[in-house]
């Protein structure tokens, strides 16, 4: 072997060793974060999954494995089916209305000039508030006897509406609060998306005859907001599925179970009836639903054009 080949081999060997040391160093730096993730996120999930296969009750010193009994009980539990259907109805209303209203408000606020910041602050205020505080405020606002909304309804000559004690409309009253809480956040996200749309596209659309509001919306604005719409829809869906605060503060799952949702049923099973094994199975089902939504996001995003 010539001296040139020897030096080349030595340089290649040093490069390989440096690369290996760099990789090992990267793993070493990532180790604290990985350990924290394991302790805080993965280990609790694993424990919940393990408990879901037992008859463990909160505070008990002895328990035994029951296999899939808790999951089988879920399938035959009318309360769970009712909570799942109520949650699905709530999510459908909140997501559809908050996304559409958020988009409409973003379009209207986008070209308001100096007042844009003012509108952004006003519409974003509900997002900065806690759902417990909002629930208490809206419980008063929609009260059937002393609420301002019903005072206006009565002043117009219509009968008062018992929003939270009528099984037919209670879930929709809660959904209205959820929309009011989410729409400002969605508006901000859509405003960010609107900023990235080139003005040339609107000029080109106007040349082709698409110069009306609805033509611009459906032919230019919304198609270009595809990535933003996917993101807003998924985040709104995940947030809506986590409905609990307003149910706990206002309706407590009533009247007649018409507002009982998954997380409220989970809370009752865990901290009122102390059925920890059953509650863990309910938690696992909830996690599966969240994972399914995330997978939908991944596959839906593949067909979206990112400009």
Rounded to whole angstroms, how far apart are CA atoms 95 and 238?
Answer: 9
* 232 domain residue, yes or no: yes
Across the strands, what pairs with 218?
none
One domain for residues 47 and 75: no
Quick check: 232 and 102 in contact, CB under 8 A? yes
Longest dimension (CA), the chain: 103
* 64 domain residue, yes or no: no
One domain for residues 184 and 46: no
* 129 domain residue, yes or no: yes
What is the domain-level CATH number for residue 195? 1.10.3720.10
CA-based nearest residue to 251, from 182, 212, 289, 243: 243
One domain for residues 10 and 147: no
One domain for residues 150 and 218: yes
Neighbours of 98 (CB within 10 A): 27
One domain for residues 102 and 41: no
One domain for residues 78 and 141: yes
Q: How confident is the model at residue 4 (pLDDT cuts 50, 70, 90)?
A: very low
* 307 domain residue, yes or no: no
Backbone φ, ψ for residue 155 (5° rounding): -65, -30
Q: How confident is the model at residue 63 (pLDDT cuts 50, 70, 90)?
A: confident
* 248 domain residue, yes or no: yes
* pLDDT per residue as tens digits for the range 200-231: 877 777 777 777 777 777 778 888 888 888 88
Q: How confident is the model at residue 19 (pLDDT cuts 50, 70, 90)?
A: low
Report whether pLDDT(186) > 80.
Answer: yes
One domain for residues 216 and 107: yes
Report which listed range, 127-141, 191-205, 258-272, is most confident: 258-272
Report whether pLDDT(306) > 50.
Answer: no
* 252 domain residue, yes or no: yes
For the chain, percent of residues with pLDDT exceeding 90: 36
Q: What is the number of domains present in the chain?
A: 2
pLDDT of residue 206: 76
One domain for residues 31 and 148: no
pLDDT of residue 202: 75
Total count of residues recorded for the chain: 307
* 60 domain residue, yes or no: no
* 88 domain residue, yes or no: yes
One domain for residues 135 and 31: no
One domain for residues 30 and 159: no
One domain for residues 37 and 76: no
* pLDDT per residue as tens digits for the range 114-151: 778 888 888 888 888 888 888 889 999 998 888 899 99
One domain for residues 121 and 258: yes
> Domain range holding 243?
70-302
């Amino acid at each position: 072997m010539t001296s040139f080949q020897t030096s080349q081999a030595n340089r290649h060997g040093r490069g390989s060793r440096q690369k290996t040391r760099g990789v090992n160093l990267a793993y070493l730096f990532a180790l604290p974060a990985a350990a924290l993730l394991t302790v805080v996120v993965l280990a609790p999930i694993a424990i919940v999954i393990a408990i879901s296969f037992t008859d463990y009750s909160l505070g008990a010193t002895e328990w035994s494995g029951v296999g899939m009994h808790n999951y089988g009980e879920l399938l035959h539990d009318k309360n769970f089916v009712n909570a799942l259907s109520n949650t699905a109805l709530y999510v459908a209303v909140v997501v559809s209305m908050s996304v559409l209203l958020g988009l409409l408000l973003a379009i209207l606020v986008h070209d308001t000039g100096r007042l844009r910041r003012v509108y952004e602050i006003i519409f974003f205020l509900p997002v900065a508030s806690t759902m417990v505080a909002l629930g208490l405020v809206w419980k008063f606002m929609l009260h059937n006897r002393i609420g301002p909304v019903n005072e206006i309804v009565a002043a117009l000559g219509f009968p008062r509406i018992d929003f939270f004690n009528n099984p037919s409309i209670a879930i929709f009253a809660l959904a209205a609060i959820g929309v009011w809480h989410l729409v400002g956040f969605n508006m901000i996200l859509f405003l960010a998306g609107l900023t990235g749309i080139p003005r040339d596209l609107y000029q080109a659309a106007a040349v082709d005859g698409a110069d009306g509001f609805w033509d611009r919306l459906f032919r230019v604005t919304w198609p270009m907001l595809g990535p933003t719409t996917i993101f807003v829809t998924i985040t709104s869906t995940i947030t809506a599925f986590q409905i609990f605060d307003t149910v706990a503060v206002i309706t407590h799952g009533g009247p007649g179970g018409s507002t009982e949702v998954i997380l409220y049923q989970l809370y009752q099973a865990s901290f009122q009836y102390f059925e920890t094994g059953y509650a863990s199975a309910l938690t696992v089902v909830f996690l599966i639903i969240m994972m399914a939504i995330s997978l939908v996001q991944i596959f839906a995003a593949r067909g979206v054009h990112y400009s």
